[in-house]
Amino acid sequence: MPTIRRPDATVAYDVVGSGPPVILGHSLFCTRSMWREVVLRLQDEYQFVNVELRGHGESTAEAAFTLSDLVDDWLAIMDREAIDKAVLCGLSTGGMTAMRLAVREPDRVAGLALFDTNADPERPLDRIRYAILGWAYTRFGLLPRKTLLRSMFSPQTLVQRRELVAAFLDGIQDLDRAQLAHAMNAVFGRGRVDVGRLTHPTLVAVGESDMATPPVCARRIAQLIDGATLEVIRSAGHLTAEEQPEAVASVLRPFLERCLSAM
């Protein structure tokens, strides 16, 4: 799989499938494998460039960074792969990155598929709470397991998909604590992104039980972007692409067809 050297980071990504290009970005605490089941359902129709977030999987984070740096990562990868314009499809942190790229470089974007994400800053009290969480995790490897799982998965998934939940916890143990802390600070210390400026075709989707970026966040994004459509994914929490990949692929396919038919 290719990597690209960036300031204070090496960023890994996959290129899978054939057809018009779609850039994928995943959630904090996950890796690019989060999109695996969705890509399998659509890779005969589209080319997916699946970018791994700094500090996760095979991507490094050797120093502090911001979401703006992640935008730079995506643009550098698009340039390397000779992609002039693509649909940006991001979940959580991936969605935050996609929105910022679209604001900065609107001509590089054919459409936005925003899953389980938030255009607003973290609330002040939550920012303090997450800062304490990041400190405890960096120093001692401590994460509030039950709270984290309730934030990431629906009640149905926690009961019926124990292997998925166990794999998520195992994956966190494999991450480098100091590098993950940089990613946590980038996400929880973010500012607001002015999505009201965007005019791209936009799909906003959210798990009905998402506690990390609740449906109210998705509704706000959909209201601010003219013409955006909103989908609620049933029996899913924050990680809709892993919990309900068939449903995610089902809402994504017609949206991609609409965005990329002219490319």
How many C-beta atoms lie closer than 10 Å to residue 192's C-beta? 9
Q: Output the pLDDT for position 140.
A: 66
Residue-averaged pLDDT of the chain: 94
| Half-sphere exposure in the Cβ direction for 143 (13 Å, CA) | 20
List the one residue out of 47, 60, 54, 58 whose CA is nearest residue 15: 47
Q: Any idea which fold 3-260 has? A: Rossmann fold (3.40.50)
User: Would you state the structure tokens that stand for residue 22, as one six-digit string?
Assistant: 């779609």
Q: What is the pTM of this model?
A: 0.95
Residue range 46-83, pLDDT digits in tens: 999 999 999 999 999 999 999 999 999 999 999 999 99
Residue range 183-237, pLDDT digits in tens: 999 999 999 999 999 999 999 999 999 999 999 999 999 999 999 999 999 999 9
pLDDT at 247 over 90: yes
Any idea where the domains of the chain sit in the sequence?
3-260
Q: Output the pLDDT for position 250.
A: 98
pLDDT band at 263 (very low <50, low <70, confident <90, very high): low
Q: Three-state SS for 115?
A: strand
Q: Output the pLDDT for position 262.
A: 60
Alpha carbons 222 and 185: distance in angstroms, whole number? 26
pLDDT at 42 over 90: yes
How many C-beta atoms lie closer than 10 Å to residue 23's C-beta? 28
pLDDT at 93 over 80: yes
Residue range 147-170, pLDDT digits in tens: 889 999 999 999 999 999 999 999
